[in-house]
Chains A and B, each alone.
Chain A
Amino acid sequence: MTIEQKKQVYTQRIRSLRAKKIEETRKKIAYNGLTDEDDYNFLCPPEGYSWKPVGDSPNGDFHGYRGWSENYAAMLKSFPPVVDPENSMCGNFFRILQKFRKVRWHECWDLSPWQETIDRYGIDHGIGQIHHFCGDVRIGLNLGWDGIREKVRRYEAVNNETEEQREFYRAENVFLDACMDWMDRTVACVREKLAHETDPLLKENLAGMLAANEWVRHQPPRTLREACTFISWYNLFGRSFNREGCGGQLDELLRPYYEHDTALGLIDDEDAVYYISGLLMSDTKYYQLGGPDETGRDMVSPVSWLILEAADRMDVSLNLTIRVHDGLPRAFFRRGVELLFKHKNGWPRFSGDQSLVEGFMRRGFSRELAARRIAVGCNWMAIPGLEYPLNDSIKVNQARVFEVAYDEMMAGPERSTEKLLSLYVKHLRVVLKCIGETMDFDLNNNRYNDPELFLNLFMVGPIEKGRDASDHSVQYYNIGIDGAGLAVAANSFAALQQRVEQEKALTWDQVYASVQANYEDENGPYIQALMKHSGRFGQPGSLGNRWARRLTEVFRDEVVALKSREVSVYIPGMFSWSKTILFGRQVGATPDGRKAFEPVNHGANPMPGDVRSGAMTDMSEAIILAQCGMGNTSPFQMELDPGMIDMEDGIDKVMALLETHLKRGGTLINVNIVDADKIRAAHKNPELYPDLVVRVTGFTAYFITLTPAFRQLVVDRLMES
């Protein structure tokens, strides 16, 4: 085949895989119902499929090394092998074991020391948090599955003093046995399909698939196809086990194999695109592209371009982040922006190297280590293999902290925004103390609940020490704590200061009475309008902006000051994830004019409607004020008009916008290109738009898979801009 013919064949196959994926999304909704999550590319179980885990506690949940390993092994056995002759990779799964769990923690645990505080403030606390750290897939690429097995056995022989250690290794062996058995059954299926395939081109593909899988089943990969095959299985194991979703620096992971293959003339770029598209199709994992390595050299290589090329041809939900810094090739940055507008799928997004590195260094780490802390999650960074941050898991509802403080102040004689701030800080400390204590509990107990049997294999420490990653075996425990609802709290402070203290248009009691009545008392609409139209977060030079900065500094300082028995480094960020609705439901009416139980703001963004000009630069300025500057993110959820690139220099303008935000202190930008008509139509008839991908928050998802409440929230946000 000429390279042109090959391109045609591969592109046709990728299109076909895309069509099947979209159809599968439809089926999954019918089977699993709606979700507010990523699309993980798994399949609908076959008809009659009915596997259920075996529980070990009264509510039927399973726990610990034994519960997870044995149930995982049983679940994998229930999966029929999946081989699609059009795909360059094989294997897929039907259920995620973690999703069978009813409660995040062990129901028999006594949470009473913290329960009242958790309930009072609606804390997303530390107990029972899982994954949200990044394995170093290089460990596996270097060892291969047999090498990993050998490593487990080697350390099993050394660390065998306690029953807990023996149980740990036993579970890891059961886990590996189950994974290898799944691979073996899939390889057998490939062999069988190969025997029966009559199309010569598909037969050739199946033969390549078989050879790659047979090799990778035991040995470290040598070629690009083998490396993609290894990582594809890595993705399937992690995701099907506990929903683990970190990828890594994909261009650098694959570069040595691509260089090997091309030097030997084994593949051309069309083959590379085809293999990479199979890998990307295996999971919506979070991958970073480009950015400086530890020496400052930019990591964009021909492989980075091929990844974008594969993503372009696939046009599906993906999570790719381009790390922006001065050394990033302009052409690569430009291509990323072009694809963002071309497909309107919310990828790639863009992280700011300078702010992230300087922030992490401010928290006491070296520049080299900071450079290794890459985008591997929804809104977050981690050092693959070395760091256990639980990022994007633990969250403080700042709107609720405000509400508790406000109620306390109004019950006493002294009323002022300074008094309110002192009470806000007091209650924030109560929340953080609770988080510290629950983290200590978690790090001492979570191995009995949700052990990290998959990620342990790809971290430095757990296997070597015979201890779970959640059990002090990893090098860095830098626990992330995110604030959420900043805009509600900041606007409430600002509205009280402006209307009550400065203008004296209302009294403390008048506002409080109306807030308590959810603005439905006689003067409610007037008071609500007055409070709502005060100087808001998102308006340049406003009191809202000033309070947002002040509250961000308070949050940053309190989180940095937090120390608990097991954790000496906590890192602040500002991100709600998709919990804007949930956090809103925890909070009654607030003095910013928000009615009871309405959603809080998304991430670090102002409340919808508050950037009255709609100017992205106003929005950017506000979100920079919400940066904690310690290495974790306060992402900018940016909505742009697709018409922007109709202008002669439209792409340049977008690049300047992104780059300037990141240079001014921004950390991460998630972009949605708003095709307003399509989204409006899809909101009315979602089932007619099964291929519409939107960036929900830090992740992308098919619009059709979102719950109606969440669809509405996405639509409101998008329509505003």
Chain B
Amino acid sequence: MKNMTGIITEIQRFSLHDGDGIRTTVFLKGCNMRCSWCHNPETLEMKPQEAWYPAKCIHCGHCKTGCPAQARVTIGREMTPEEALHEVLWDRDYYAASGGGVTVSGGEPFLQADFLKAFLTLCKENGLRTAAETNLSLPWAVIAPCLPLLSHVYFDIKLLDDAAHRKWTGVSNRTVLENAANLAASGIPFTARTPLIPGVTDGEDNIRGIAAFLASVRENCRYELLNYNALAESKYEPIGLTYALPGTRPLPVSRLRELAAAAASEGTQCRFSRG
């Protein structure tokens, strides 16, 4: 256990959109899904990887000794839970003042379950409130041991139709839905989310269906619709990937309101973010 390490994509301080209050979000590297719209493509691979930003290159010829201009950078670093804790403790005064804390995100954080558990245990020992953002697609046996260490869980249900879910994420949603029911039964506070991807997840039937499912597992549960964020597109090329949905635009606020109203009418507390 002592030498255990995790692969971290980034530790983002002053994170305002990943839970209550001012937070630090620890992005773990590696994901088992391959969503076509992935907002954090640099977290897909588990191993550290290179990114290349040609506009920053000064053509100095010193690539081999480490790019001085940071045109070529390595994404991901290996850290022990103690090292990660050290960094998240920097902002503990801000967590205390704002009701914030630490959020683990990804990628899919439960892919590094041992590291995650060790890190969350340290957070708890240090009095930090914690949350996890997960796709809930890993076996319940992997997820359950961490739950007592979490104050809140954010999870995605992207599509209710399993075939569509497989098509757009590469993974079945069966485990996701089972785990959502388990999570609801566990009593832990949670927020379900659906990223609104135009032409993929933004159909009213999909949103109503997800909302009805959520209402069936926990009455009046928190449900957030996250508008499409076009910024992800620029992240693909530097890591040698091609974005599958170029030119896609966020939904207008009027449409967000309609979808939120539909979800609310199915028995959820639904909110939306403008993106």
A contact set with B: CB distance below 8 Å: 505, 523, 525-526, 529-530, 533, 540, 613-618, 621, 643-644, 646-650, 652-653, 656-657, 659-660, 663-664
Contacts and interface: CB of A to CB of B under 8 A. Distances in A.
B93 interface: yes
Given A526-B60, A617-B94, A660-B97, A649 B13 contact: no
User: Which among B12, B14, B70 has the highest number of chain A CB atoms within 10 Å?
Assistant: B14
Contact of B98 (A614, A618, A648, A656): A656
Given A525-B60, A533-B70, A664 B16 contact: no
B58 A657 contact: no
B20 interface: yes
Contacts of A647: 16-17
B16 A653 contact: yes
Interface in B26-82: 58, 60, 62, 65, 68-70
Contact of A617 (B13, B20, B99, B274): B13
B76 to A, nearest CB: 16
26 contacts: A526-B58, A526-B68, A529-B60, A529-B70, A530-B68, A540-B13, A613-B12, A613-B14, A617-B13, A644-B16, A647-B16, A649-B20, A649-B98, A649-B99, A650-B16, A652-B21, A652-B99, A653-B22, A653-B100, A656-B21, A656-B22, A656-B94, A656-B97, A657-B14, A657-B22, A664-B93
A656 B93 CA distance: 9
Given A643-B274, A649-B98, 16 more contacts: A525-B60, A526-B62, A529-B60, A530-B68, A533-B68, A533-B70, A540-B87, A613-B12, A615-B13, A617-B91, A653-B16, A656-B97, A656-B98, A660-B93, A660-B94, A663-B97
A167 B20 CA distance: 66
Contacts of B62: 526
A615 B12 contact: yes
Contact of B22 (A530, A617, A618, A643): A617
A649 B94 contact: no
Contacts of B20: 649
A90 B156 CA distance: 62
Contacts of B58: 525-526, 529
Contacts of A540: 13, 87, 90
A646 B227 CA distance: 14
Contacts of A644: 16
A533 B68 CA distance: 7
A246 to B, nearest CB: 32
A613 B13 contact: yes
What 4 A-B pairs are tightest by C-beta distance, nearest first? A656-B98, A615-B14, A526-B60, A656-B97
Contacts of B90: 540, 617, 621
Contact of B94 (A505, A613, A614, A657): A657
B68 A617 contact: no
A616 B14 contact: yes
B14 A618 contact: yes
Nearest to B65: A505
Contacts of A618: 13-14
Contacts of A614: 14
B68 A652 contact: no
Nearest to B93: A660
Nearest to A533: B70
Contacts of A649: 20-21, 98-99
B146 to A, nearest CB: 25
Contacts of A523: 60
A643 B58 CA distance: 36
Nearest to B86: A541
A45 B18 CA distance: 55
A652 B211 CA distance: 29
Nearest to B92: A660
A646 B65 CA distance: 45
Nearest to A526: B60
A615 B91 CA distance: 11
Contacts of B22: 617, 653, 656-657
Contacts of B91: 617
Nearest to B87: A540
A652 B96 CA distance: 12
Contacts of B70: 529, 533
Contacts of B21: 649, 652-653, 656
Contacts of A616: 14
A160 to B, nearest CB: 60
B172 to A, nearest CB: 33
A533 B69 contact: yes
A533 B21 CA distance: 32
B98 A617 contact: no
A617 B98 CA distance: 13
A526 B59 CA distance: 8
Contacts of B87: 540
A525 B97 CA distance: 44
A529 B68 contact: yes
Interface in B109-152: none
A116 B60 CA distance: 41
Nearest to A527: B68
Interface string B188-206: 0000000000000000000
Nearest to B13: A615
B243 to A, nearest CB: 23
A523 B68 CA distance: 12
